[in-house]
Every structure is written in structure tokens, then in C-alpha cells.
Amino acid sequence: MASRITFIGAGNMASAIIGGLIDSGVAPTDITATAPNASELDAIKERLGINTQADNVAAVGEADVVVLAVKPQIMRAVCEELKPSIHETRPLVISIAAGLDAATIDQWLGGGNALVRCMPNTPSLVGIGASGLYANAAVSEEQRALSTQLMEAVGIVEWVENEALLEAVTAVSGSAPAYFFLMFEAMEEAAVKLGLPAETARRLAIQTGLGASAMAQRSDHDPATLKQNVMSPGGTTERAIAHMEEAQMRTIIADAMQACADRAAEMAKELAKKN
């Protein structure tokens, strides 16, 4: 990827994507990250060997791609600061902020920008990310391909043609690593109650999550069949799954994902009202 990429923001999500890009072969010298805090910049420079810059405007000057990776609440201030420079150089802009629509960001950047909205997730750090992407009308086919290439360097990419569907993407992948981490926490706690040492329990739970994911990904069978294959009639798994179904685990997951998508929509409204 012969593009110079500038990340505005060097936090959890930016460093996950940058780490994944470097692992996939992007030269650290083609990547710049910004943050107001010098110690944060020193840490990421030391860890990943990328360029760092405290000045957002200077950092976007030479960039082909600008990834906006700050919290949604400060996005307007950042966009207005970048507006003159971006207006001049017209890079491809990719926003990873939850709940901030493309039209609003484009407007804050002065209008007429090629803008891709991306909802990534933190497993991008280990190259197993899952991102949803949406392009506004100004994005060329070439820029779409570049966005795909960029995010495929850290995982899988799914394009949506209706921007509102990014709320569903947030529920099923953007926020979802946390659901699995909760599951690992709960399984470890329960296994400790059953007598296993915590470290052993954690290793077994995480490896099982990894194994189940790899199997589900590679198998021709759907998850329901794979689940059934573990459940010997009258056996142990059947008892565990029956308990989960009785406890309405599917409803709990559906309600949590609805709450997540609703919050993405609510954030968009809150931010639009404030600005």
C-alpha cells in the first residue's frame, strides 16, 4: 500500500489498526499518528516505530489517507481545525467514530470530501478485525478499493450501502469483542468455583473460544449444527445449553445488541444537537 496514512488520535482503536497494518507489511514510516499528549506519542513511537506529531494540521499535510480516530465528542473541534488543510489537499478521509454520520463530519470539514465511515473493532490489533464500511457519494471506486485494502490488512471488511446499517455493525462487531470478553470473565469465575486454578480456567476458556471461532469459520456447517454436534443426547452439553435457553440467553443477547444500536443512533442525535 504505497499511501501515506495519518491517524488523528493514537488511542486504543488507532493503535490496534496501526499495529495490524505494520504486521501486514505497511512500512511504519508511511504512518503518522497524532495526540495532544507527548508521553502517549512517545509510547506509540517506541512501540510501533511510526512517525508522531502533536500538530494535527502538520500531520495531514502530506497524507493520502486521514483516519479520524478521536472520541466522537471532540470530533467537531478536530474537523474544524483540519478543515483548511483538508480542503486544500483533499485526502481520502476515514472516520472510525461511533454514532457520527458521514454528512455531519463532511460538513465540519467544509463539505465536498471523499469520506468513508468505518466501524472497526479492537481485534484488528491481531489481524482478526471485523469492519463495516460505508462510503459517501464523493468516494471514487479507487478510494473504495484503497479503504478495503487498508482495513483488510487488519481483518475482514463488509460494505454497507445504507449508512444506518452501521448501527447494526456496531452491535455485531464494533462493540462485540467486549461481549466475548465478558463471557471469558464469567467462564473463568465459574470454573474457579468448580475448583480449577484461575490461570488454568482462563487459558481453557480462551482457547475454547478461539477453537469454536476457527471451527465455525472453516466448517461447512452452520453454528446451530456445530452446537448440536457437541450435544450428546442425555449428556452434559445438552444440560448446559438447556439452562442457557431457559435463562433466555438469546433474548439477553438480542436486547443488548438492540441497546447498542440504539445508543449509536442516540449519540448521533446528541452530537448533532450539541453542535
Ligand X SMILES: O=C(O)[C@@H]1CCC=N1
Spatial distance between the Cα atoms of 191 and 200, rounded to a whole number of angstroms: 9
Which one of the spans 91-99, 145-153, 187-195, 209-217 is the region binding ligand NAI (CB under 6 A)? 91-99
What is the three-class DSSP state of 4? coil
Please pick, from the candidates 104, 121, 143, 147, the single residue that binds ligand NAI as defined by CB under 6 A: 121
* 14 to 17, 94, 96, 215: CA distances (angstroms): 5, 12, 9, 29
- Comparison of 218 and 274: residue with beta carbon closer to ligand X: 274
- Residue 20 binds ligand X (CB under 6 A): no
| Least distance in angstroms from the C-beta of 175 to ligand NAI | 7
By beta carbon distance, the residue nearest ligand NAI is 11
* 18 to 25, 28, 107: CA distances (angstroms): 11, 8, 27
The answer to whether residues 28 and 158 touch, using CB atoms and an 8 Å cutoff, is no
Spatial distance between the Cα atoms of 246 and 242, rounded to a whole number of angstroms: 6
- Residue 34 binds ligand NAI (CB under 6 A): yes
Task: Fill in the DSSP letter of residue 170.
Answer: I
- Near ligand X in 45-104, by CB under 6 A: 98
- Residue 78 binds ligand NAI (CB under 6 A): yes
Q: What does the angle CA 64 – CA 7 – CA 61 come to, to the nearest 5 degrees?
A: 45
- Near ligand NAI in 240-269, by CB under 6 A: none
- Comparison of 201 and 268: residue with beta carbon closer to ligand NAI: 268
- Residue 157 binds ligand NAI (CB under 6 A): no
| Least distance in angstroms from the C-beta of 119 to ligand X | 7
Which one of the spans 50-58, 83-91, 140-148, 170-178 is the region binding ligand X (CB under 6 A)? 170-178
| Least distance in angstroms from the C-beta of 77 to ligand NAI | 6
Task: Fill in the DSSP letter of residue 49.
Answer: -
In which order are the strands placed within the sheet that holds 31-34?
51-53, 31-34, 5-8, 65-68, 92-95, 115-119, 129-135, 155-159
Where along the sequence are the contacts to ligand NAI (CB under 6 A)? 8-14, 34-37, 40, 56, 69-72, 74, 78, 96-98, 119-122, 174
Binding site for ligand X (CB under 6 A): 98, 170, 174-175
